[in-house]
Structure 1
Amino acid sequence: MRARPALAACLLAAIVAPSATAAESPDTVLQCGRLFDARAGKVLGAHVVVVRDGRIAEVRPGTPGVEAAGRRLDLSDRTCLPGFTDLHVHMSSQSSPQSYSEGFRLDPVDYAYRSVGYAEKTLAAGFTSVRDLGGEVALHLRDAINQGLVQGPRIFAAGKSIATTGGHADPTNGWNDALSHLVGPPGPTEGVVNSVDDARQAVRQRYKDGSDVIKITATGGVLSYAASGDAPQFTVDEVKAIVDTAKDYGYRVAAHAHGKEGMARAILGGVTSIEHGTYMDEDVMRLMKAHGTWYVPTIHAGRFVADKAKIDGYFPDVVRPKAARIGSLIQDTAGKAYRNGVKIAFGTDMGVGPHGDNAREFLYMVEAGIPAAQALQAATLRAAEVLGVDDQGVLEAGRRADIIALPGDPVADIGNVLKVDFVMKDGAIHREPAR
């Protein structure tokens, strides 16, 4: 049940007067001490970026001349970059020991209220776009942000993930018999499929709901209330039916997958990206390269759940061993995938970890052996390629004015990504350095 009126009322009630400010004159002129060229993967010297009507009007080396009109912002002691994109978030929730019981106690309205704060934290951290891979609330949060009612990143929302019966994202996992019989088995409308026809219907339902992207759970998962974290859960024909139907609506498909066989089926079925990829081996990597499939590692989530698995009571008993076993492997897999030439894009699975901590993924990517410049490209230019958009991810004339700035050089010291203190989205300033 989507409860649109309740969610809309909730988000409207959560409105605070946005502090974002549009340009005070026709142009906003940014003086950047350094500029990250996302195409070349290099930090360049001083540049001027002129913003007009929410778009980048000009990017040129040097400093503003006397002819430059409009509001000037001095970022001469900072590096300017394209706004970051996190390709794997869940904006309506955040992991805690109470997460499992809350599903029975809270209403969609409660999750919507929480999502407003999560969105603000994400934007403040420099993430001007996110791909939300599961959660009906995100569709409404996206609309509220687009209407200027609340602040947050641009959201590409999947809505309800598509699963199989008993699979990761079956919303009835862990329910007792009485409740299961009362509600009845979920079907394509609820995102649960068991045939090619079901698969097509589930995608069409996501279109009806207003999704921007399709997410499937091609294997078991770590945090679902089920024993297996890696067993395959779709046939190739079912995946292909989802991908082919998604294409009818201009959708791309992301596949949550931990196990090798489930990844192989998803790749052969034509998905755009593999999320997590824990047990990826060289056979799967060759398959990904042959099909041009992207990999979104989500190292942060792996490390987070492995750490929390050490705490008694944080996870249910059926989840805890999966979190300990699978979570600790993802960082190593990411390093192997990079060394084998798999295309890598940036994602955190935030909502498992705390919202606003997204940038820590860069540090984990570098620890895994991915060069800092390529980690930054993964969250800018490469992320735009995964989304299939050509108006963001680089600082070039004609692109969206999604611009962030931070002290220091993030290629020389990736830790600087944790210091973002200037955020502009679509030409509106959401955060400025304290002077």
Structure 2
Amino acid sequence: MGGTRALAGLALAIVALVAPGAQAETSYVHAGRLIDPVGGEAQPDRLIRIVDGRIAAVSAWTGAPADGPVIDWSRYTVLPGLIDLHTHLADGFGQSRDPTEPLKHGPGETALKGAEAARIMLRSGFTTVRDVGVYRGLSDVVLRDAIAQGWVEGPRMLVSGGYVTKPGGGGAVTGLPKGQVPPPEFRIGEVSGPAQARAAVRRLIGGGADFIKIIATGAVLAVGSDPGALELSEAEIKAACDEARTLGKYCIAHAHGAEGVKAAIRAGARTIEHASLIDDEGIALAKARGVWLDMDIYNGDWIAEFGTKEGWPAEYLRKNRETTDVQREAFRKAVAAGAKLTFGTDAAVYPVGLGARQFAYMVRYGMTPAQAIRAATTEAAAALGLEPEIGQAAPGFAADLVAVEGDPLVDVSVLERVAGVMKAGRVVAP
């Protein structure tokens, strides 16, 4: 880990030395239509000027400039790169019927599969992701840094380093034979009591985590875990969130159950993941505190269909049935109440690359297409604290762009079929 950081520092130093004499790299994109997620409108026939990976100007198309190449996306609607706030790319192998799957692969295998997942995710139009937990502690830090160094193709990543969870809880490897204990690197965030919660936060942030993921309630896809029940006390959640804040970071909370959602909000969580069983009081509390709800309302259908076909544990399928429709109706209520909502899919529960399917679900359950796009651009960027950097195709922002055929402001499902992707000024797909 220290070697990776040393290389990163050396690279930055080299850039600083050569930058003054370097020629700015300029390129252009000719967009047939350009979506502004803030206004929920599209402007026709735009020219986007890109300098050193950032958008320098947006203007009407009047012809090809002479000072740089022009990417011809005049047939397409162009919008800012998409942001998914709930992924598990670095775990690599994704969800399976075997709860102990994470223990059956070494770190090398997991890293290679994580790199494959990152590449697929980027090429599906998601240029930034928040990776919200790995079983093998800090493996997500390695993937994030490899992408930042250019060694691996993938989206910009922010990572949690692991889970702050009770022993045997929703963030632990479960379903092991009696007496078997996972290796220490799989228990980096296990805690019992506020003091251990604080220590785990220091350990994860010290290892390179960008934020802290709290497992406040039980999980759907964990053996012996009840999604509606608190697994950490409010005091433990608060201790972790307070410690993260002291260290200049923030915490998010996995919370299905209504009481867990409210406890996590009161304790200081920035976003609530899943929020499947949230009640009216919880929605009102989230709105009042300015907390984002990050609700994965697509993947319940995948679990029901493919989990059944592939023989996933009956407990998983039962808990999925008990939470899927309830969560979707809660999402509808949250939209109607004006609560802040982001785009998070639980990518890796279903095959990575299919996350844009969730847009249609968000529209079905109460959002307009423009609201769904904002959830995956400007709202997601704000939840990350990166609203001046990403989420808009406007001057000063990173040149992260996605091109699609059709008009996603009319039919949001066109985002499932990406025609082109640019990250930081570089075309990566097709």
TM-score strictly above 0.5? yes
Give the aligned partner of residue 262 of structure 2. 264
2-side partners of 1:187 and 1:234: how far apart? 21
Deviation per CA, 1:347-398, whole angstroms, max 9, x where unpaired? 1000101101111111111111211001001101111000001201011111
Q: Tell me if structure 1 keeps the 8 A contact 2:363–2:369.
A: yes
Task: Check if 1:164 corresponds to 2:166.
Answer: yes
Please give the residue correspondences for 1:120-135 in structure 2 after superposition, counting only pairs within 5 Å.
120-135=119-134
CA 1:170/1:270 → structure 2, altered by over 3 Å: closer, same or farther? same
Query: Contact 1:302/1:331 (CA < 8 Å) preserved in 2?
Result: no
For residues 64 and 419 of structure 1, what CA distance do their matches in structure 2 show?
29
Q: Pick the aligned partner of 1:414 from 404, 412, 429.
A: 412
Tell me which amino acid in the other structure corresponds to 1:123: L
How far the C-alpha of 1:326 sits from its partner, in A, is: 1.7
Aligned twin of 1:110: 109
The answer on whether the counterparts of 1:188 and 1:201 sit within 8 Å (CA) in structure 2 is: no
For 2:370 and 2:113, how far apart are their aligned partners in 1?
Answer: 34
Distance 2:376 2:66 in 1: 31
Deviates more, 1:100-109 or 1:255-264: 100-109
Task: Return the offset for 1:189.
Answer: 6.3
Aligned 8 A contact 2:55 2:395 in 1: yes
CA shift for structure 1 position 303: 2.3
The answer to whether the Cα contact below 8 Å between 2:93 and 2:113 also exists between their aligned partners in 1 is: no
Aligned twin of 2:16? none
Is the 1:277–1:330 contact (alpha carbons within 8 Å) kept by the matching residues of 2? yes
Letter in 1 for 2:178: D
For 1:120, the aligned partner's letter is R
Contact preservation (8 Å) 2:99, 2:222? no
Q: Distance in 2 between matches of 1:215 and 1:45?
A: 41
C-alpha separation in 2, matches of 1:202 and 1:227: 21
Unaligned runs of 5+ in 1: 9-23
Aligned length: 408
RMSD of the TM alignment (CA)? Answer: 2.4
Pairing partner for 2:344 from 342, 347, 371: 347
Contact 1:309–1:323 at 8 Å: present in 2 too? no
Q: Is the 8 A contact 2:93 2:114 kept in 1?
A: no
Q: How does 1:2-401 map to 2 (within 5 A)?
A: 26-60=25-59, 62-65=60-63, 68-91=66-89, 92-135=91-134, 136-171=138-173, 173-180=174-181, 190-311=188-309, 314-389=311-386, 390-401=388-399
Structure 2: how far apart are the matches of 1:245 and 1:353? 33
State the identity %. 35
Aligned partner letter, 2:149: Q
Secondary structure of the residue aligned to 2:360 is helix
Please state how far the C-alpha of 1:341 moved relative to its aligned partner: 1.2
Corresponding position of 2:15: none
Distance 1:44 1:277, change over 3 A: same
**Matched letter for residue 67 of structure 2:** A
Pair 210,123 (structure 1): closer, same or farther in 2 beyond 3 Å: same
Alignment CA distance shift 1:165-1:210 (3 Å)? same
1:108-143 CA-to-partner distances (Å, cap 9, x unmatched) read 221111111111111111100000000132211111
Q: 1:82 to 1:422 in 2, by over 3 A?
A: same
**AA partner of residue 273 (structure 1):** T
Q: Is the 8 A contact 1:48 1:59 kept in 2?
A: yes
The range that moved more, 28-37 or 319-328, is 319-328
Q: Deviations over 1:246-268 (max 9, x none)?
A: 11222121111110011110000
Structure 2 partner of 1:13: none
Deviation string 1:328-363 (CA, Å, 9 cap, x unpaired) is 432222112111111000010001011011111111
Instruction: Tell me the CA shift for residue 176 of structure 1.
Output: 3.2
Aligned equivalents of 1:343 and 1:145: distance in 2?
Answer: 30
Structure 1 residue 37: Cα displacement: 0.4
SS at 2:342 equivalent: coil
TM-score (norm 1): 0.88
Is the contact between residue 302 and residue 330 of structure 1 (CA under 8 Å) also seen in structure 2? no
1:158/1:227 Cα in 2 relative to 1: closer, same or farther (>3 Å)? Answer: closer
